Structure 1
Amino acid sequence: MKKSRAPDLTHEVLQQVLNALDGWQRKLTWDLLLDEVEILTGHRYSRFTFADYPEIANAFSFKKDILRGTLPRTSSEPKDERLRVALEQVSRLQAKAERLQAENNLLSEQFVTWAINAERKGITMSMLNAPLPKPNRDQNKGIK
């Protein structure tokens, strides 16, 4: 029997994958991430599908780099459950902030590349920053 193809990634699924990576604390491989996403969404995606999305590929690499030098410290975990939950949330939010900062840095580099290439083609920054024309809304009023 032929396997059915997983649906295209929606914005919601993309956010689920990124949130899973933000909170990831154990060994990270593509297969483990795919297993987790299958549990979350009910669909099995491929590594190649995820690699096509720069947000996922960058977040995966970033989290992998963070996890390489860390070991879990079970002896220093707080006893109070509320404190443990709060610390886990802080850890997830810090990971998300770091991932977003890394993503922002990549986007800034991309912007600089585009600006330099545009300037080389004779397009000035003032041309790039010119406001977009307003849509002609009167044009559609006569059509019914």
Structure 2
Amino acid sequence: MKKDRAQNLTAERIALVLDTLDGWAGKLTWDLLLDAVKESTGSRYSRFTFAEYPEIANAFSLKKDALRGTLPRTRGEPRDERLRAALEQAERYKAKAKRLEAENQLLTEQFVTWALNAERKGVTMDMLNAPLPKPKRDRSKGED
């Protein structure tokens, strides 16, 4: 029996995976994440597919590290459903902020690497920061 191929990972699907990770509570494994994504999207992806996307792999590792060694809450959950929902949303936002800070750090490191490598090849920062040429739009073929 031939397996149906999962849909390509679009920016929206990647955002959904990242949002799922941001709100994750409890044990986290690749299989559990894949199951959760399949439940919300209907598509079954592989661990290797997710690992090809640095933002997913980094978010997974970061969340795994955050969950490692944490103990369950000893105090009771609030009774008010709205308060519980607000607290859960706040936790998701905190997790997302932490993930975005880690992504920003990686991108900053990548930029420094690129800048140093460009400088070694004789490309100056002024050359790198030069504005891009304006696209030729809204001109008829006879104009120039």
Tell me the TM-score range normalised by the shorter chain. Answer: over 0.9
Matched, 1:52 2:74: no
Task: Give 5+ residue unaligned stretches, structure 1.
Answer: none
Hey, what does 2:91 align to over in structure 1? 91
Please give the alpha-carbon distance, in whole angstroms, between the structure 2 residues aligned to 1:43 and 1:74.
36
Matches within 5 A, 1:8-23: 8-23=8-23
Hey, what does 1:111 align to over in structure 2? 111
Hey, what does 1:142 align to over in structure 2? 141
Hey, what does 1:71 align to over in structure 2? 71
Please give the alpha-carbon distance, in whole angstroms, between the structure 2 residues aligned to 1:70 and 1:98.
16
Hey, what does 1:34 align to over in structure 2? 34
- Which amino acid in 2 is paired with 1:30? W
TM-score by length of 2: 0.93
Deviation at 1:13, TM superposition (A): 0.7
Deviation at 1:46, TM superposition (A): 0.4
Please give the alpha-carbon distance, in whole angstroms, between the structure 2 residues aligned to 1:111 and 1:76.
46
Off by >3 Å, runs of 4+ in structure 1: none
TM-score by length of 1: 0.93
Hey, what does 2:122 align to over in structure 1? 122
SS for the counterpart of 1:137 is coil
Deviation at 1:74, TM superposition (A): 5.1
- Which amino acid in 1 is paired with 2:2? K
Deviation at 1:81, TM superposition (A): 1.8
SS for the counterpart of 1:9 is coil
Please give the alpha-carbon distance, in whole angstroms, between the structure 2 residues aligned to 1:116 and 1:49.
31
Paired residues, number: 142
Please give the alpha-carbon distance, in whole angstroms, between the structure 2 residues aligned to 1:137 and 1:16.
35
Deviation at 1:79, TM superposition (A): 2.2
Please give the alpha-carbon distance, in whole angstroms, between the structure 2 residues aligned to 1:3 and 1:30.
20
Instruction: Compare 128-137 and 67-76 and name the one that shifted more.
Output: 67-76
Deviation at 1:134, TM superposition (A): 1.4
Please give the alpha-carbon distance, in whole angstroms, between the structure 2 residues aligned to 1:33 and 1:46.
10
Task: Give 5+ residue unaligned stretches, structure 2.
Answer: none
Deviation at 1:19, TM superposition (A): 0.3
What is the RMSD of the two structures over their aligned residues, measured on CA atoms? 1.4
